[in-house]
Amino acid sequence: MITASFSGHILSNSIFTNAGGLIHEIKQKQRASPLQDAGGGDSSKLGKTVGSFLLAGFFFLSMANSVWAQSPNVVVGSESGADFAAVKGFLNGNTAVVNNSFTQSEMVTFSGDTTLTIQSADGTLKTITAGTGMTSGKGAFFSQTSETGTLTLNLSDVKFTGGKGATRIGSRLGGAIYSYGNLTFEGTNATFDKNSVTAENAAAAGGAICAENTATISGTNTFTNNTVTATAEGGTGNIYALGGAISAQNTITISGTNTFTNNTVTATAEGGTGNIYALGGAISAQNTITISGTNTFTGNSATATDGSAYGGAIFVAGDVVFSGDGSEATFSGNKADDVNNDIRSNNVTIRDGGTYSFGGGIAANGTLAVGVENQASTPDVTFGDGSITKVTTGLEVRYGSELTLESGSTFEAGSLVVSEEGSTLSIGNYVTLSSTGNLTVSDGGTIKLNIADTTFTPGKVAENLEFSDTSTLVLNFADTMAVAAGTEVLLFTAAGTIEDKSTLEYSQWLTDAGFVVDVLTKNGGLYARISGPGGNVPEPATWAMILVGLVGLGLYARRKKAGA
């Protein structure tokens, strides 16, 4: 493969061909035909020859009044006879490298499998103001390769801003970058800021990036304030606003270090009668989204007027998979129609030794699986105060993984399963937890209930509770509680069973004070009954010298059988 490398050159009034030949100086105000076929055109009419040039792939720097042609003797120009004021780039199946700054007047168009590398020679940020001077407000890069073809962009120290996307079959797509096929984007200090796509009575997708097939994003990238807007101006068809930052028709794979902040999708009826959808404030895909590395999603939103908005940060019609040892994903302030939400999907799988925090919550039609078989290490997952999660089929915490529902979170699931040694579901004091199926803890799984008062009601399970096969129920009473002997605390509103080989643990300070905790079923609920020497537990000043520890430090107490 031949690589063309440019560094700071300025080329003017020329036509270049990618199959070798001559570089010709274009006469000013030369009338040239529209794009002719490979055999058309007569280079002898273009003016004097200024040199020869062999190019396997090409890109432009600052090329006033110049044109790239894909084949020898092809002339690209204006039928009106105007000056060659528009600059277009064509890349066809090869590699181009730009080592310094560049100025762009119109989209670069690619055909065939193509790799483009842009490297900053001095390490300073280069800005592509994609909307400035663009015909019809286009984006920066447009790939017209086949559906299975791939555009590969390796960009360093580049900022895309002001892109307005490309029009295809009436839709507006890819504010800065659009690929008809696959897109592979590797950025080093790459930023997409304030790019947008807007469509009326059609789909608008990918405020920064849109790929019709798959998109692979890696490196270090920042996506901020990119927007997608779709409006039904009296139309009758369905209207979609997809992926405030990134949209792909097939799958999206994200790795490296990426930040998504304040990206939005907005869909508005405006008198239209079709269905209105706003999907994925930051990212949308139709198949699967796979995320690894360090990723932050903050303040992204999806909003629909007289329609439906799903996925404050991420929407996918298929599944979301978080993976990779050492990965981190943090979600905060994301909303769908002003309701806290991070993800809308079918299934969500979180695997490997990562740390994940969801401040808005997940809406999934299928299953939320925390942990998978044979994972190298285990994930630690937290749903924060104010998060709202609903998984229709159910929640599975397995294979040594940990899931924490912080105080103030809401969690609804079809069924709840905590299984295998080390797997832990930890439930805060004011968590709203409900299930339409069974809660099953087995094979070494643990549920921890963190209790701060005697009116604790964490679980409302519609069917059955079952603790079996060496499972553990942990009751972590706050050490500031003044609990009298005979106090009963409602744990779950559904009756349940705890097998003899299961274990009950409770706070060490209760044990040190001479109290015992039993679990019993009565009145359709599961209760913790505190019994002991009588009287109230001493105030904190009295027992300050008592060793205060969490459950794991203390005595194991087996459940005593008791009836209603």
d(CA 22, CA 465): 81
Cβ 313 vs Cβ 339: under 8 Å: no
Give the model's pLDDT for residue 73.
24
Name the burial class of residue 408, with classes exposed (0-12), middle (13-18) and buried (19+) by CB atoms within 10 angstroms of its CB: middle
Low-confidence ranges of the chain (pLDDT < 70): 1-112, 118-126, 129-140, 145, 169-170, 235-237, 271-273, 462, 533-564
| Paired residues of 350 in beta bridges | 322, 370
pTM, 2 dp: 0.79
> Distance of alpha carbon 7 from its chain centroid, rounded?
36
d(CA 348, CA 327): 16
- The residue length of the chain stands at 564
| Paired residues of 289 in beta bridges | 252, 320
Give the model's pLDDT for residue 72.
25
Spatial CA neighbour of 318 closest among 282, 360, 284, 356: 284
Give the model's pLDDT for residue 110.
66
d(CA 345, CA 313): 11
Spatial CA neighbour of 410 closest among 458, 365, 355: 458
Spatial CA neighbour of 339 closest among 365, 364, 313, 316: 313
Cβ 469 vs Cβ 443: under 8 Å: yes
Rg (CA), the chain: 31
Quick one: tokens of 272? 């239209």
Spatial CA neighbour of 244 closest among 305, 200, 194, 292: 194
- β-bridge pairing 204-205 and 171-173: parallel
Give the model's pLDDT for residue 463.
76
d(CA 408, CA 390): 15
Give the model's pLDDT for residue 303.
97
Q: What angle do CA 16, 21, 27 make, to 5 degrees?
A: 50
First to last CA, the chain: 81
Q: How many CB atoms lie within 10 A of CB 249?
A: 20
